[in-house]
């Protein structure tokens, strides 16, 4: 509970960002405080060790999944794969199109980032509608990886993202 409080204290809210009517949850202050950042990784590590007997790979989601994913992967002694916005990764890739609140986006992963049959956990800073993590799950399924679950710091429960991701489970440190 102490660790959780340390984390929650460091999440700020900005009204009308990036557009009017959106209340943006900002996790950047966590990065400024090594104790809070350590607490985030401790809490994820505890959850993963308690929940899964084997995890082969952490998959970080562009861009804020990249901040926490490598730290967790190192803790667990496993590797990291990246899912990025289209056009950022060299070599053979797989991609999937998905819709955002406004317009469309495409997520992409290097073909050799994950091996068929690998058990993977996805990580991002925040779950809203679930569109981003859903697309990421699709990419991993295309490469025959087994998605064990998704990890996020923040879940916005009104938007039903966890419902959208079912049967893949979501673990969040905090909810709004
Ligand atoms: P979704 O696809 O679930 O609707 O949106 C989640 C994605 O958008 C995540 O990659 C997340 O980083 C970003 N995002 C959406 N809203 C917020 C927010 O309020 N705060 C932060 N930090 N990220 C957000």
d(CA 10, ligand 1 centre) in Å: 17
Dig out the tokens for 29 from the structure. Answer: 């202050």
Please state which CATH number belongs to domain 53-175.
Answer: 3.40.50.2020
Q: Report the C-alpha gap between 115 and 130 in whole angstroms.
A: 24
Q: What is the pTM of this model?
A: 0.97
d(CA 9, ligand 1 centre) in Å: 19
Helix axes 65-76, 34-51, angle to 10 degrees: 60
The domains of the chain are located at: 53-175
The complex scores an ipTM of 0.98
Nearest ligand 1 atom to the CA of 156 is 19
- Active-site annotation holds for 64: yes
CB 24 within 8 Å of CB 14: yes
DSSP 8-state code for residue 115: -
Q: For ligand 1, say whether the CB of 24 is within 6 Å of any of its atoms.
A: yes
Query: Residues 115-154: pLDDT tens digits?
Result: 999 999 999 999 999 999 999 999 999 999 999 999 999 9
């Amino acid at each position: 509970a102490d660790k959780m409080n340390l984390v929650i204290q460091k999440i700020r809210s900005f009204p009308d960002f990036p557009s009017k009517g959106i209340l943006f949850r900002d996790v950047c202050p966590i990065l400024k405080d090594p104790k809070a950042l350590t607490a985030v990784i401790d809490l994820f590590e505890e959850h993963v060790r308690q929940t899964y007997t084997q995890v082969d790979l952490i998959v970080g989601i562009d861009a804020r999944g990249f901040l926490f994913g490598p730290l967790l992967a190192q803790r667990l002694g496993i590797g990291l794969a990246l899912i990025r916005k289209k056009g950022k990764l060299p070599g053979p890739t797989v991609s999937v199109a998905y819709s955002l609140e406004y317009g469309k986006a495409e997520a992409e992963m290097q073909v050799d980032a994950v091996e068929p049959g690998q058990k993977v956990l996805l990580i991002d800073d925040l779950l809203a509608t679930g569109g981003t993590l859903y697309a990421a799950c699709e990419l991993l399924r295309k490469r025959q990886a087994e998605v064990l679950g998704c990890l996020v710091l923040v879940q916005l429960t009104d938007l039903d993202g966890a419902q959208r991701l079912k049967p893949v489970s979501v673990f969040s440190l905090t909810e709004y």
